[in-house]
Amino acid sequence: MDFNPCMKHKVVRKAVRMFAEAELGPIAHDIDRDARFPWEVVEKMQPLQFFGLQAPKEYGGAELDSISYAITIEEISRVSAAVGLCLTVHNSVGIYPIERFGTEEQKRRFLPAMTRGERIGAFCLTEANAGSDAGGVETIAVRAGGDYVINGTKIFVTNGGVCGTSLIFAVTDPQNPQRSAGVFIVERDTPGFTVGEIEDLCGMRANPVSSLFLEECRVPETNLLGRPGDGLRIGLVTLDTGRLGIAAQALGLAQAAFEDAVRYSKERQQFKKPISSFQTIQNYLADMATEINAARLLLYRACAVKDSGKPFGAEAAMAKLSCSATAMRVTNLAVQIHGGYGYSKEYDVERYFRDAKVTEIYEGTSEVQRMVIARAVLAQRT
Amino acid sequence: MVKMVVCIKQVPMVSELPWDQATGTLQRDLAEGMMNPACRAALEAALRIREAQGGRITAITMGPPMAEEILREAIALGADRGILLTDRRMAGADTSVTSYTLARAIEKTCAGFDLILCGFSTSDSETAQVGPQLAEELDVPGVGYVDEIVVSGRTVRMQRLSDNFLETLEMSLPGLITVTTEGALPRYVSLGGLQEAFSQARIETFDAEALGLDPARIGMQASPTKILSVASPTAGKKNIVLTGTPKRIVEQLIERFDDKIGGAIGKDLKADKKQS
């Protein structure tokens, strides 16, 4: 067991950090304030293969291992969690399901434009009456000749406002949603596909989260991923992978908040001393550092299990549960250490604090993660 | 087809490096390494020459085994080969011995080179000596502090800013150029490039024996330069209150700060005073 990062992982971290600090650092605050998606940075990310992090080289991907992938998302999110969110959703629940479950024809048709970043991916499960309960999906896909005609409304779609290729979770038989669920690849220019208003959210404001409407949206049957009825299985595997990315995103947020808190505690003077000299602040910093390290180890281990080809659902859930809880606690303490300034938009910790909350909600709430973990624990022989 | 050698160096990432408050020195053991910014600019210049003219780029570095990092990064950025000169006996070399070592290694591994590109200086020691000394060691012409390079045939045309004059120079190949950070902005490394540089590229490693170096001419013991101490310059602040009549205050001001005030207004106040 080697706990030291290998040379590649160190270089990946430095390379991504250099890019993120130079290109996203100067605008991270403004794009949050203005709820603006930074296309100008996306254009710089495209040739560097940020949009094909783990996809095979033959489809234009970088073929990174999962720990390098996590480090990349962590480092981008350390500077802008909203851009980190765009990347992780695009890579792990946009590209990955097509790469894993798609036919050769589907991979050739959809992946190159996605890995080039020309078509940003989105995964659309959540509806007004479905989210944690995937069986509650009401979007319906009806077979018509060689096509499927899809009708329904998806909500809270990450990347919704900018997506080029969406994976739509729909059922073919509303009487039997569990067994008839399917994942359909729908491109933005398909007639009947429209993007709703951008949501006005607490955090991750530079990511255009929106509703998507499908009205008589007709796609060829070759746009169905896997076999009819495979939807639930594809959804579950996809979410396991997605959780590693969200864990990495939460970890990057926690790291950013921690670094700001350490720096501020050394600068801020009270009672004629830097506040870092007070034991209470030291205790906060010690707890933050410990939790971040523990969460990071869980995440990298889950990534290593995934790359070894073994089932990693419980590990991914643990990593996501731990990293998001850490992000929440660490950003909260970082605001506390900054005092009144931490509550001001003048300081980044205010943004980190707002951004952190949703990591406990999306890609499976913390309650769902516990459900997944408990199921794995109880399945083991005692 | 220009055969290029880019000399690169791993330097500590100073922005991430803690200072020892007591001694005022860098805690180098905690340092993360990175490619020296001017070396990155030299590599960028080489990549652009290759894009325009065709060519082959060899990145070479001397350093501890960890310096392999920047060779892999150079390959990820587009270098065709990476050569690591590493040997405990080479450690502690000053610029003169470094130039000697690099020159022999280039002669052995990159015979028939057209152009050698170096960063004009490194961010950790700032001597700017290795490039010019290397040109001497290899007995080729060298030009320092270059911003722009255009190769045509066996000639290279360069631009550099010198005392606020823009100089255009020409040199015949083979030759050596040291590159500033004022030219084209170095590209970012692509993630697929990094993955391939780590999974497929082979780094060629040489020690003193493999290079056939004279042991008496390498490392710290062969280096004429000795570093006695390294310290951070401290910029102190002091408030001084001048008192007296306005005339007396002005006189004191001139007495104490005549050189600074004179420098700011472009006059030698002491000389003026003597004349009057």
Where residue A360 sits, what CATH number does that domain have? 1.20.140.10
Neighbours of A242 (CB within 10 A): 26
> Which residues share a beta bridge with B81?
B58
Cβ contact A53–B190 (<8 Å) = no
Residue A103 DSSP symbol: -
Which CATH number fits the domain that encloses residue A224?
Answer: 2.40.110.10
Q: Which of A11, A44, A61 sits opposite B194 (nearest CB)?
A: A11
First to last CA, chain B: 68
pLDDT value of residue B13: 82
In the numeric block, which tokens belong to residue A357? 């909350």
Cβ contact A68–B189 (<8 Å) = no
Half-sphere exposure of B39 (CA within 13 A, CB side): 27
* Residue A89 included in any domain: yes
Q: Are residues A272 and A288 in the same domain?
A: yes
Assess contact for A114 and A95: CB atoms under 8 A. yes
Residue of A87, A103, A65 whose CA lies nearest to A20: A87
> Which residues share a beta bridge with B158?
B149, B169
Kindly identify which residue of chain B lies nearest to residue A259, measuring between CA atoms: B16
Domain of A171, in residue numbers: 121-228
Mean pLDDT by 10-residue block, N- to C-terminus, for chain B (276 residues)?
96 72 64 92 98 96 95 98 95 91 96 97 87 96 97 96 93 97 95 97 96 91 84 75 90 83 73 66
Go through chain A and tell me how many residues it has: 382
Among candidate residues A103, A120, A137, the one where a domain is terminated:
A120
Q: Are residues A161 and A198 in the same domain?
A: yes
Under 8 Å CB pairs connecting chains A and B tally to: 55
CA distance A225 to A101: 6
Domain count, chain A: 3
Chain B residues touching A68 at Cβ < 8 A: 191, 195
Assess contact for A319 and A243: CB atoms under 8 A. yes
Superfamily name and number for B2-217 = HUPs (3.40.50.620)
Neighbours of B158 (CB within 10 A): 22
> Which residues share a beta bridge with A182?
A170
Phi and psi (nearest 5°) for A173?
A: -135, 100
CA distance B119 to B113: 18
* Residue A236 included in any domain: yes
Chain B residues touching A5 at Cβ < 8 A: none
Distance (Å) from the alpha carbon of A54 to chain B's nearest alpha carbon = 9
Q: Are residues A293 and A372 in the same domain?
A: yes
Give the long-range contacts of residues B122-126, CB within 8 A, separation 24 or more.
B122/B9, B122/B11, B122/B36, B122/B38, B122/B39, B123/B11, B123/B14, B123/B36, B123/B37, B123/B38, B124/B11, B124/B12, B124/B14, B124/B36
- B21: Cβ contacts below 8 Å, ≥ 6 apart: none
Kindly identify which residue of chain A lies nearest to residue B77, measuring between CA atoms: A48
Q: Are residues A248 and A221 in the same domain?
A: no
Q: Are residues A312 and A353 in the same domain?
A: yes
Q: Are residues A174 and A238 in the same domain?
A: no
Residue of A382, A99, A356 whose CA lies nearest to A202: A356
Among candidate residues A100, A120, A140, the one where a domain is terminated:
A120
> Which residues share a beta bridge with B26?
B19
Helix or strand or coil: residue A9?
helix
Chain B residues touching A276 at Cβ < 8 A: none
Q: Are residues A130 and A243 in the same domain?
A: no
Phi and psi (nearest 5°) for A102?
A: -75, 155
Kindly identify which residue of chain A lies nearest to residue B74, measuring between CA atoms: A11
Chain A residues touching B191 at Cβ < 8 A: 12, 15-16, 48-50, 53, 62, 64, 68, 72
DSSP per position, A19-35:
HIIIIITTTHHHHHHTT
Helical spans, DSSP H, in chain A: 7-19, 28-33, 39-45, 66-79, 81-88, 96-101, 104-115, 177-180, 231-267, 279-307, 313-338, 348-357, 366-379
Chain A residues touching B31 at Cβ < 8 A: none
Burial of B10 (0-12, 13-18, 19+ CB in 10 A): buried
Neighbours of B199 (CB within 10 A): 10
Residue B189 DSSP symbol: P
Q: Are residues A96 and A140 in the same domain?
A: no
Distance (Å) from the alpha carbon of B70 to chain A's nearest alpha carbon = 9
pLDDT digits (tens, 9 = 90+) for A135-167: 889 999 999 999 999 999 999 999 999 999 999
Helical spans, DSSP H, in A169-211: 177-180
Go through chain B and tell me how many residues it has: 276
pLDDT value of residue A150: 98
pLDDT value of residue A273: 96
**Which ranges of chain A have pLDDT less than 50?**
none
Kindly identify which residue of chain B lies nearest to residue A62, measuring between CA atoms: B192
Assess contact for A87 and A74: CB atoms under 8 A. no
CA distance A204 to A201: 7
Domain span(s) for CATH 3.40.50.620 in chain B: 2-217
Which A residues in the span 52-111 are in contact with B, Cβ-Cβ below 8 Å? 52-53, 57, 61-64, 68, 72
Q: Are residues A208 and A283 in the same domain?
A: no
Q: Which contiguous run of DSSP H or E holds residue B43?
A: helix B37-53
Residue B207 DSSP symbol: -
CA distance B134 to A100: 53
Q: Are residues A111 and A160 in the same domain?
A: no
Q: Are residues A302 and A348 in the same domain?
A: yes
Phi and psi (nearest 5°) for A21?
A: -65, -35
* Residue A1 included in any domain: no
Kindly identify which residue of chain B lies nearest to residue A13, measuring between CA atoms: B191
Among candidate residues A164, A195, A228, the one where a domain is terminated:
A228
* Residue A2 included in any domain: no
pLDDT value of residue A380: 87
Angle at B205 between CA B199 and CA B210, to 5 degrees: 155
To the query of whether residue A360 is one of the catalytic residues in this protein, the response is no
Phi and psi (nearest 5°) for B108?
A: -80, -40
In the numeric block, which tokens belong to residue A59? 């489809």
pLDDT value of residue B236: 74
> Which residues share a beta bridge with A104?
none
CA distance A276 to A255: 18
Predicted TM-score (pTM) of this structure: 0.91
- Residue type (1 letter), A8: K
CA distance A359 to A328: 8
In the numeric block, which tokens belong to residue B52? 């325009």
In the numeric block, which tokens belong to residue B44? 């960028």
In Å, how far from its chain's centre is CA B168? 22
Active-site annotation holder among A63, A99, A363, A367: A363
Cβ contact A19–B188 (<8 Å) = yes
pLDDT value of residue A287: 98
Asked, as a colleague might, if the bond just before B174 is cis with ω within 30 of 0, I would say yes
Assess contact for A138 and A127: CB atoms under 8 A. yes
In the numeric block, which tokens belong to residue A270? 């009270």
Q: Which of B72, B73, B190 sits opposite A49 (nearest CB)?
A: B190
Burial of A116 (0-12, 13-18, 19+ CB in 10 A): middle
Q: Does A44 touch chain B (CB under 8 A)?
A: yes
In the numeric block, which tokens belong to residue A89? 């959703």
Assess contact for A152 and A134: CB atoms under 8 A. no
Strand order in the sheet with B148-152: B148-152, B155-162, B165-172
Q: Are residues A357 and A240 in the same domain?
A: yes
